[in-house]
Structure 1
Amino acid sequence: MTTKREQNWKYVIITMLFLGWSLGNFDRFIVNFAILDISKEFHLNGSLTGIVLSSFFAGYALMQIPGGWLADRFGYRKVIITAVFLWSIFTILTGAAWSFASIIIIRFLFGIGEGGYFPSASKGITNWFPHNERSRAMSIMLTSATIMGVVAPIVGTQLMQLLGWRQIFYIVGVIGLLLSVAFFFLVKEKQQPKQMKIEDPKVKAPLKDVLKTPMIWKLFIAYFSIYAVNWGLNSWMPTYLANVKGLNLTEVGVYSAIPPFVGIFAMLCSGYILDRLPEGKDKLIAAVFALMAGVFLLLMAISPNLILFIIFQSAVTVFLSFNII
């Protein structure tokens, strides 16, 4: 039987997962603004800038399957603590980058370090939350990304102008090291009752059998499409607003913060709504909203002014929130 203390501890778990994902997302967002100064300092053209931004995602993608396997093998707690510690080290090293090659390697290793966090955090939510609360719990954790999408453009750009881009990464890295210590003391795994273990034994399948499952490939295509749009916009929008629209860093930060601000409410509402939909209806909603996101992406491409451009991007953020959870 679940004790009152265990029922309450799940809120500690989701709070820690929220804080960890907030920090990881802050770094991912702030580099999109720091890249403006990084490109100038290292004399990077558009193609080389793209390689810098993409190097993180290469490492991150490479670590997704091993990250999930490690969480199953050693427990989500150990993987999360290791992930936060490693990405904090590479955050500090990002600030110490001395060349184009060095920042590529550092950001790639940073992606590997962070890659194990999300699958492990998902397992943690499954471990602590009943089925009818998991979408809500996931939406709370994922809301950290949209919150950091607001904080990083506004606060981060101001600190960057005050302290310089390198100092931002030093500060965030130190905060991450402290957070990894907090995870060590506050995050634990919920032990399932022995009766439940007997009634619901885990069935382990070889990786090759998992890769033959049609649902796995459907999810792969779906998430590839979602994140190609989501992180494509997040990564390149600051550069686009600065170089094409001619905005200064403060203006770039303000305009970039608007879609994520809208996304905070969209993410919370989507988790609440999806938990209450009849089984199967969530797929229909996701499909329709994905099509709507595509329509507004096209409208972004042909928008006649900056205001409409930001409105259309905000709409894309709202519709995609129902597909991410």
Structure 2
Amino acid sequence: MKNTSYQQKPTAFRWVIFTVMFFLLAVNLMDRITLSIGMPYIKEEFNLSPTMQGLILSSFFWSYALLQVPGGWLLDKYGPRKVITGALLGWGFFQAIIGFATSGMHMILARIGLGAAESPVSPSGAKLSSTWLTSQERGRGAVIMDSGSPLGVAVGGILVANLIIWFDSWRLAFIIVGIFTMSLGFLAWLILRDKPSQHSRVNQAECDYIEQGNSVSLNDVAESKTQGLGISWFMMWAIMIGRASWGMVYWGLLTWGPNYLAQAQGLDLKAIGNSTFLIFILGTAGCLFSGFFVDFLVKKGISHNIALKSLLSLSGIVGLCVFMMLPSITDPDSAVWLLGIAAFFMMFGSLYWSFPAILAPKDRVGLVGGFMNMANSCAGILVPILVGVILEYTGSFSGVLTYFGICAGFYILGTLCINFNKVPVLSPTK
């Protein structure tokens, strides 16, 4: 019989893995938007002040931020398959029990549990990118996964709004979404694997292709051991500042966007759901465009340093301009379209999830991703509270939008301080 092993065509199962991660991140953000969409009803039932609403919206991030670094460590030690499966079961449970809350304090406690359970999910994408993708595919991998976030918000906004309308109950919406999330734990265990060689659907040709596409970094790891984080602390702080500033804008829109559309633009619940869909579906498109375009530029010989900094700077500049314009906009349709334009460009920030795999050695990708997302999560803690305080003292969203514009400026600054030409920090093996 003729031996055709050398002619074997590589499978492409790595993209199935990232399609699954895309779907899981979509559900992840659908769970989070549930509270924002339901808040106009919840605040009436529990008689919540703007500051208390901000605390409830923020409480998810208290545990989420605190456990980012431990979550990254768990990923490096136990692998994404086990960690993601456990996370899905946990966050679905806490999402469901929010539907049984009887006070604002009960909601805060459930949201803290939700944040703890979700903490390893986003860093797991960076970990999977380092083992499943070549260096020229990581821009696409980052945005395919992270584009699930704005899509989850877009679809979740409409879905949750309609669930509340259909059942005339925000509580049932939480319970249904939570049970659905728990069921996805079985999907994650069935499909995900920590390494390509562990999956029966991946042939040897695909394993060889991935290994050859990372041959430089693999040689570095073989000859040296990682020192500290694997990147300099200056670089880590630049990544964290850029990501946190981006997060101020993203989480600000996610948590308070529906309230802005209701209070400042006078939209009803159905219109809020439709507007949220439009804004974040444009964000999904921007996210995907940025990743595929960066990989195209890198394939054409342009360095990651130039390609990433150029696109991310453009992203921040457009966001800054939009937020400076919005306070003077009184037409709801114009406001929604401007927010959609801002979302398209600001979602270029999903490229940050390619940074750990590009900059850090394989045994520190989870940890670096954990630090980066901890900064993003700290923004998630602060911005709902800050927006609530600004609203309580000013009575309008003008100051809030100006604050988002300032954050977009710091997002540009942090990105420009990152040097993608730097090699990982290694020490010779003795």
TM-score, structure 2 as length reference: 0.70
Structure 2 Cα separation of the partners of residues 301 and 275 of structure 1: 36
Instruction: Report the alpha carbon displacement of residue 6 of structure 1 after superposing the two structures with TM.
Output: 7.5
Structure 1 Cα separation of the partners of residues 62 and 262 of structure 2: 25
From 48, 52, 74, the counterpart of 1:48: 52
Once structures 1 and 2 are overlaid, which stretch shifts more, 141-150 or 32-41?
Answer: 141-150
Instruction: State whether residues 263 and 317 of structure 1, in contact with CA within 8 Å, keep that contact through their aligned partners in structure 2.
Output: yes
The RMSD of aligned alpha carbons is 2.4
Task: Indicate the residue corresponding to 1:310 in structure 2.
Answer: 336
Instruction: State whether residues 25 and 145 of structure 2, in contact with CA within 8 Å, keep that contact through their aligned partners in structure 1.
Output: yes
Task: Indicate the residue corresponding to 2:158 in structure 1.
Answer: 154
Task: Indicate the residue corresponding to 1:169 in structure 2.
Answer: 174
Instruction: State whether residues 316 and 345 of structure 2, in contact with CA within 8 Å, keep that contact through their aligned partners in structure 1.
Output: yes
Instruction: Report the alpha carbon displacement of residue 284 of structure 1 after superposing the two structures with TM.
Output: 2.4
Task: Indicate the residue corresponding to 1:299 in structure 2.
Answer: 325
Task: Indicate the residue corresponding to 1:273 in structure 2.
Answer: 293
From 213, 230, 238, the counterpart of 2:233: 213
Q: In structure 2, give the amino acid aligned to 1:260.
A: F
Decide whether aligned partners of structure 1 residues 249 and 2 sit closer, same or farther in structure 2, where only a CA change above 3 A counts: farther
TM-score, structure 1 as length reference: 0.91
Percent identity, aligned pairs only?
A: 28
Pair 1:249-2:269 in alignment: yes
Structure 2 Cα separation of the partners of residues 186 and 3 of structure 1: 27
Task: Indicate the residue corresponding to 2:411 in structure 1.
Answer: none
Pair 1:224-2:244 in alignment: yes
Instruction: Report the alpha carbon displacement of residue 155 of structure 1 after superposing the two structures with TM.
Output: 2.1
Structure with greater proportional helix content: 1
Which one has the largest radius of gyration? 2
Instruction: Report the alpha carbon displacement of residue 15 of structure 1 after superposing the two structures with TM.
Output: 2.2
Q: In structure 1, give the amino acid aligned to 2:278.
A: I
Instruction: State whether residues 259 and 317 of structure 1, in contact with CA within 8 Å, keep that contact through their aligned partners in structure 2.
Output: yes
Pair 1:110-2:140 in alignment: no
Decide whether aligned partners of structure 1 residues 65 and 3 sit closer, same or farther in structure 2, where only a CA change above 3 A counts: farther
Task: Indicate the residue corresponding to 2:253 in structure 1.
Answer: 233
Task: Determine which structure has greater relative contact order: mean sequence separation of CA pairs < 8 Å that are 6+ residues apart, divided by chain length.
Answer: 2
Q: Deviations over 1:64-100 (max 9, x none)?
A: 2111111111112221112111111111111121221
Structure 1 Cα separation of the partners of residues 220 and 290 of structure 2: 33
From 96, 104, 120, the counterpart of 2:100: 96
Structure 1 Cα separation of the partners of residues 151 and 275 of structure 2: 14
Structure 2 Cα separation of the partners of residues 125 and 182 of structure 1: 19
Q: In structure 1, give the amino acid aligned to 2:143.
A: S
Q: Within 5 A, what are the aligned runs for 1:67-146?
A: 67-146=71-150
Instruction: State whether residues 287 and 349 of structure 2, in contact with CA within 8 Å, keep that contact through their aligned partners in structure 1.
Output: no
Structure 2 Cα separation of the partners of residues 103 and 87 of structure 1: 14
Q: Deviations over 1:142-166 (max 9, x none)?
A: 2212222221222220111112111
Give aligned pairs, total: 323
Instruction: State whether residues 89 and 181 of structure 2, in contact with CA within 8 Å, keep that contact through their aligned partners in structure 1.
Output: yes
Instruction: State whether residues 158 and 274 of structure 2, in contact with CA within 8 Å, keep that contact through their aligned partners in structure 1.
Output: yes
Q: In structure 1, give the amino acid aligned to 2:193.
A: K
Instruction: Report the alpha carbon displacement of residue 301 of structure 1 after superposing the two structures with TM.
Output: 2.1
From 219, 222, 225, the counterpart of 1:203: 225
Instruction: Report the alpha carbon displacement of residue 285 of structure 1 after superposing the two structures with TM.
Output: 2.5
Instruction: Report the alpha carbon displacement of residue 4 of structure 1 after superposing the two structures with TM.
Output: 6.7
Q: Deviations over 1:233-257 (max 9, x none)?
A: 1211111222333322111111222
SS in 2 for 1:25: helix
Provide runs of 4+ in structure 1 moved above 4 Å. 1-6, 191-199
Pair 1:181-2:186 in alignment: yes
SS in 2 for 1:304: coil
Structure 2 Cα separation of the partners of residues 14 and 57 of structure 1: 25
Q: In structure 1, give the amino acid aligned to 2:23.
A: L
Q: In structure 2, give the amino acid aligned to 1:162.
A: W
Structure 2 Cα separation of the partners of residues 2 and 98 of structure 1: 64
Q: In structure 1, give the amino acid aligned to 2:59.
A: S
